Amino acid sequence: MKKKPRRSLRQRIADLKTEKMIRKQRGDQPRYKQMLRLVFNRYTGVFFAFILIYFLLLLLLIHFEKGSSNANIHNLGEAIWYSLATFTTVGYGDHYPVTVAGRVVASVFLVVGIGLLGFLIGFMARFISKIKPAVILSMNTLKPWYVFTGDSYYATVFAENLLMVRPDAMIIFAESNKESNVGKSISVPWTVPEILSRRGSLYDAHIMCMKENEMDNFLDSTALSDIEAPIICLSSFTPAYHAMNINFFSPTDSTARIFWQQYPLIKPDEIILMIGFDSAGKVLLDRALELNIIYPEQNVKYHVFGNSDEYRTNRKMLSDIVSVNKIDDQRDSVIFHDDPWNTDADLLMSADRIILCSDSESENISILHKIQKFFVTPGNLYIYNSNVRGIATPFGQTRDVLTPAFVLHNTLSDMALCRHEYLRFMLGQNIPMWENANSLTKDMNFIAVDHISMKIRILLGDDQPGKPFDELSPETLRAALDVFNTSSEEQKNLFRKLEHDRALRFYKLHNFRYNSTLNDDSRQNPLILPFEELTADQQQMADISWMLLNDLATHKEAKRRR
């Protein structure tokens, strides 16, 4: 027999709308009421069977008792009263059987009464548990729904943070029978498509793939991509092309982005030590090289302790943007150390900041203990993924990263799309539309938006507090834009060169090469040239990123008016 093809959720929801119109014309009940009626039909048969047996026993008791002159159970009402007193073990003693046959029936009540009462209570509890999810969902279809594919630690943390921002949100854990610890949440045994089909509309519905295993999240998100609802996938792997409604979120990458926005460079020749070069450290260095372009003449020194072989092998053009393993006073330097971090005490003393960025929290704490015990370190200490406070500044904790602002990143996406459209307008058809762009092209725009935090410091000075771009006020953004607009052409060219160098670093880190024709898939770009070799029009294209200050300020002002 040929298997019937599975319909997509969009088709099923369209069918539901049609079915709703037909029901309305015929006066039929809504689907959820039909479902409740089915549940009632399933359980009421069992319930009435017990009621029938119960009344048969009562009738037998009355029949046997009415033949005795000493009987005090004469009618159905007195029999029911006696049975209830027996079931509940109260036993008032005002009614009781006096005949042998009546006492036999009463013995049945005595033996099975408590068990029957317990069964009935359990039966009602199970009955209510069956219909409770359907009733709750039916009563909350107008609220925002966040449907999680699993109730992992990540999902729990994000749900709790989400409820602080959106207290009216419905948190729904799919395919789960255990009670959730998150307040205002519900666990249901249904799949994600089944849950959303009960909503009837995908407006303000979100799918959260946030299991512990990132590969499971990736597979879940691709399997659910035909659902036209936003999907958040907790995964470090982002395919080159994916469905438009899937947004990939990496805690490690977000940690690195947040870190350099909150704790930017403090001077142009800062000395930075990174100890523990695991996956978090690699991403942290990438984001440092892409974002830390603030001063016209800077020579930041990044000293990296840990295995860096794979990092250097993959980044073929690293030496084009920084000096590798050699201090250069004219540009930034990255020194990869093969010796242990505690070999050079003078370097530890001269560092402006020391970042403990091993993936292992226990290893970071162990290194912190040794630094405090044996070395003098005047610089700032930062420790990754740890609760240690007072001794070092912690960063990258799950509860601080899994927030709606960073997971949903609505503002980031809006601003990145805005910048991309500006580029398309200026360069024409060579740049694909946002939905057709590959992941690297989108990442390039995301980093450009992140750099707004650095642009504030460039325009308004180092006394500006380090804040992620989304936390900047419209007043600060407009003040910075005024500085840019009123600057001389020479000063503007300096700003443009900084922005071009920032973009150039991104391209080089991802092995893009120069070509007169733009092709992101083959990693070719006509702007991969020194700033001085660009045409005047190409140089002025850097203004797009500076104009994002105005777009972000307008965006924030619009949110204030809502």
Q: What is the mean pLDDT of each run of 10 residues along the chain (562 residues)?
A: 53 60 49 54 67 80 80 82 75 78 78 66 69 81 92 92 92 85 84 86 92 93 91 91 90 94 94 95 97 94 96 96 95 96 95 96 94 93 86 90 87 90 78 88 94 95 89 94 95 95 96 90 91 92 92 87 68
Residue 155's pLDDT is 93
Residue 1's pLDDT is 44
Indicate the length of the chain as a whole number: 562
The dihedral built from the CA positions of residue 112, 118, 121 and 122, taken in this order, carries a sign that is: negative
Question: How is the beta sheet containing 380-384 ordered, strand by strand?
Answer: 323-324, 333-337, 301-305, 271-275, 353-356, 380-384, 393-395
Residue 361's pLDDT is 92
pLDDT in tens, 397-427: 988 899 998 898 888 988 999 999 888 888 7
Residue 558's pLDDT is 85
pLDDT in tens, 337-386: 999 999 999 999 999 999 999 999 999 999 999 999 999 999 999 999 88
- Domain architecture of the chain: domains with CATH: 10-136 (1.10.287.70), 140-249 (3.40.50.720), 254-398 (3.40.50), 409-561 (no CATH)
Cα–Cα dist 171/159, whole Å: 7
For residue 173, give the DSSP letter: E
Element (H, E) at 41: helix 31-65
Residue 37's pLDDT is 61
Cα–Cα dist 115/118, whole Å: 5
pTM of the model: 0.78
